[in-house]
Structure 1
Amino acid sequence: MAEPATNPSPFSRYEFLIAWRYLRARKAEGGVSTMTWISLIGIALGVAALIATLAVRSGFRAEFVDTILGANAHTTVYMSPSSFTNELTGEVYTQPGTIADYAGMAKRLAAVPGVIRTAPVVKGQVMATADDRANVAEIFGVTDKDFARIPRIADPETSIGTIGDFDRGIAIGSGIARELGVGIGDRVRLIAPEGAQTAFGTTPRVNAYEVVYIFSAGRYDIDRTRIYMPLAEAQSYFNREGVADEIEVYVDDPENIADWSLPLMQAAGDGAQVWTWKDSSGSFLRALDIEDDVMFVILSVLVLIATMNITSGLIMLVKNKGRDIGILRTMGLTEGAVLRVFFLCGAFTGIIGTIAGVVIGVIFALNVDHIMSAVNMISGGGAWDPSVRGIYELPAKLRGVDIAKAVGLSLALSFIVTIFPARRAARMNPVEALRYE
């Protein structure tokens, strides 16, 4: 006796062959329609835009964080300000806190687990002038050893001058050098409002220093305002003899800098406070995260609109293939088999469009610098203003998780919108389909 026939397993080879045959058929035979091509191109462009946008946003954030951590301390430890009352006038004055035993405090902070290094710093605001040009600047007084260990500042590829000459002059940002029109060997006058105490009051302190080093930290605001000075000279210039304003602390995991706040305050002693790099830039980073989520949602809507065209194309395909569906049903194909055939037709469109979108998006992300250069050339420059965005170029960072998110979203939407027309084809009555044939 012959064995009874068994139904083939779902998504068998013949289902793929039929679906691929329908997609490859000429339009006159009821095959691939204009709507299918529109949906495929739309999905490709939507996925490419999503990948490129996520890559640029990731690159911008990584570059922004790198410029912060490469030119600034991960956290600073300072003393709380003190107040005193003038006995004659009764007015209350507040003095910024200073650190007298800064060497001992720096040693205690360096002993905290996870701390890489510490550096005492003297800070102050000055007016920098050269000839008839002037610019406001912030002075950082550091030791020679600490200055040579600042990654973005002590970079020989982006700097001019010899870092070993730091002990006999000052180091200035490339933005200040450009605005003052000075170079290596020129002298810059620094004017501090709080200078020497005289019988007539406080007179501004004016000193001239030789420029021995010009750096570019990669951040417009830093290069335009920052000047480094030897620690001993800064102490003398700002009347901070024997004290420091704060201790800069560098840790091995700056992304989790909050974990060190309490241990550092305990090691520093009573009255110590900490200010992390996330405290100063946290609002901007949170804004970037919010923008990332919003951009993903907006571009997801574009991908959804593109995938909806698959529904239109499949509905037209089902209508044109009504006779074929009737014949297949009379030959023994089940409703599930017909559903899977037309589901595969839509899935193929989504998969091909997604693959094309990934290729286009990756190519765009890898060549974003050249694209921005072309945009700058066409627009006459100014398409990327570092004074507004803080960094000098538009970076892109391809991450596997971003590509996976774009691919997963596109495929999920493509598969979901395919179900409705595929079910319509499966429920078609074969008698009605063949009645007028």
Structure 2
Amino acid sequence: MFQRFEWMIAWRYLRARRSEGGISVMTWISLLGIALAVFALIATLAVRSGFRYEFVDTIVGANPHLTVYSYGETLPDGRQTGTIADYAAMTERLAAVENVTHAAPVVVGQVMATANGRNAGLEVIGIRPEDLAAIPRIATPENAEGSLDAFEGGIALGWHAARDLGVGAGDTVRLISPDGVRTAFGTSPRIKAYPVTYVFQVGRYDIDKIRAYMPLAEAQSYFNRPEVADAIHVTIADPEATDAAAGPLMQAAGPDAYLWTWQQSAGGFLRALEMEDNIMFVILSILVLIATLNITSGLVMLVKNKGRDIGILRTMGLSEGTILRVFFLCGASIGVVGTAIGVVLGCLFAIYIDPIFSFVNYVAGGGVWDPSIRYISALPARLEVGDVVSAVALSLALSFAVTIFPARRAARMNPVEALRYE
């Protein structure tokens, strides 16, 4: 499409010094602007993808993909118990469904924990030891104290909850439940001490802050749920395919059951992330557009400075199309090189984000990232091919588009008028 001499002329114009009628300074400014804009776009997209991936991974790695509930039995006063009496049989049926990797009956209750004169509210989940070991983020957490092997003799406690109570593996925590022993004078709170056998950090603040696990049999006794379960936690092979798995699971669970998926429980966060993604992409696209407009201003100056050269080239027989391609190559080359530099910088930022962020945190004196606000323990970045391709396509498309106007202006320049005063 482009002749060799067209490349040669475009290259000479780009590297010409200002004294020769060139715009080398403007070339470097345009190049730097595009590179920084593409770098910012890729870095932001990488952090955005990493944040969503880490956010979702902590949800599906520490929570069930689907939770099966039951309306339970109807009491004489018309209320429903909401518990599952035949939970063992239902768990077997659910585990046998295609694409289901694990099913676990649980008992859930809220308590107040106290230790060392400190108090904290906890959500306690009663679960079998083998089922607890099957939860990815619990079995392989970011940080851990103690051992899961000793879970049967105590409780497992979230990292931040343990820090709030000032306890660690081997210490004792008292749990206080308002739904305790029923007597003739009413219900008295149930208070019982448990050793902390395992402390885990899944990397999600709201889980590490309030989550605790207790053996299922002990939870049934402690929360007055003898021989029943509150729900069955189900894990499937593809966490995104909950809609496809819902039908077979409902058939296996029975007519009195209903489902709750992780997308429903985290729907607000996911919608907020999606909205933020779209807004950030639009804002950074405007930044790339502003950077590419420097190409237009530079080429307009180049066309003005090279009016005599254009007139001579036209009188030598070069067509309007040739002149247009020469100046298009000038602008497009700046866009391509700037985009390539920006891609390299953006990819390096995503790959080495941990040491970069550690340096920023050190310079700022620490406390730059607050897990209680961000919900995850560290700033993530995930380099996606689609994000890089979209950034490159946007930058190149804008670079090529803004080049057309000054290139057409140069091509349509009248050689007679260009050489009239020479």
- Shared fold (TM-score, shorter chain, > 0.5): yes
User: How far did residue 95 of structure 1 move?
Assistant: 4.4
Instruction: Give 1:224's aligned residue.
Output: 209
1:153 is paired with a residue whose SS is helix
1:143 matches 2:128:
yes
Higher mean Cα deviation, 302-311 or 380-389? 380-389
- Distance, in Å, in 1 between the alignment partners of 2:212 and 2:282 is 43
Work out the number of aligned pairs and report it.
422
Higher mean Cα deviation, 417-426 or 72-81? 72-81
- Distance, in Å, in 1 between the alignment partners of 2:81 and 2:371 is 33
Query: 1:353-409: per-residue Cα shift (whole Å, max 9, x none)?
Result: 111111121122222222322332233322211001110100000111111111110
Query: 1:207-266: per-residue Cα shift (whole Å, max 9, x none)?
Result: 111111111111111111111111100001111110000000010111121211222112
The counterpart of 1:72, out of the listed 55, 63, 75, is: 63
CA contact (8 A) 2:111 2:178 kept: yes
- Distance, in Å, in 2 between the alignment partners of 1:110 and 1:186 is 36
- Distance, in Å, in 1 between the alignment partners of 2:291 and 2:374 is 33
Instruction: Give 1:19's aligned residue.
Output: 10
1:190 matches 2:164:
no
1:175 is paired with a residue whose SS is helix
- Distance, in Å, in 2 between the alignment partners of 1:105 and 1:84 is 22
Instruction: Give 1:180's aligned residue.
Output: 165
1:134 matches 2:125:
no
Match for 1:343: what amino acid?
F
Instruction: Give 1:347's aligned residue.
Output: 332
User: How far did residue 430 of structure 1 move?
Assistant: 1.1
For residues 11-410 of structure 1, what are the structure 2 equivalents within 5 Å? 11-80=2-71, 84=75, 86=77, 94-155=79-140, 158-410=143-395
1:418 matches 2:403:
yes
Instruction: Give 1:89's aligned residue.
Output: none
1:218 is paired with a residue whose SS is coil
- Distance, in Å, in 2 between the alignment partners of 1:336 and 1:108 is 72
User: How far did residue 54 of structure 1 move?
Assistant: 0.1
CA contact (8 A) 1:33 1:313 kept: no
CA contact (8 A) 2:174 2:191 kept: yes
CA contact (8 A) 2:127 2:215 kept: yes
CA contact (8 A) 1:32 1:317 kept: yes
CA contact (8 A) 2:205 2:372 kept: yes
2:136 is paired with a residue whose SS is coil
- Distance, in Å, in 2 between the alignment partners of 1:79 and 1:329 is 84
User: How far did residue 82 of structure 1 move?
Assistant: 6.2
User: How far did residue 75 of structure 1 move?
Assistant: 0.6
Give the RMSD, CA atoms, in angstroms: 1.4
CA contact (8 A) 2:177 2:189 kept: yes
1:208 is paired with a residue whose SS is strand
- Distance, in Å, in 2 between the alignment partners of 1:338 and 1:159 is 68
- Distance, in Å, in 2 between the alignment partners of 1:166 and 1:346 is 66
CA contact (8 A) 1:354 1:407 kept: yes
CA contact (8 A) 2:71 2:80 kept: no
CA contact (8 A) 1:188 1:208 kept: yes
Question: Deviation above 4 Å: which 4+ runs of structure 1?
Answer: 81-86
- Distance, in Å, in 2 between the alignment partners of 1:74 and 1:169 is 26
User: How far did residue 68 of structure 1 move?
Assistant: 0.6
How many percent of aligned residue pairs carry the same amino acid? 65
- Distance, in Å, in 2 between the alignment partners of 1:328 and 1:432 is 13
Match for 2:266: what amino acid?
S
User: How far did residue 33 of structure 1 move?
Assistant: 4.0
Gaps of 5+ in 2: none
Query: 1:257-287: per-residue Cα shift (whole Å, max 9, x none)?
Result: 1211222112111220101100101221121
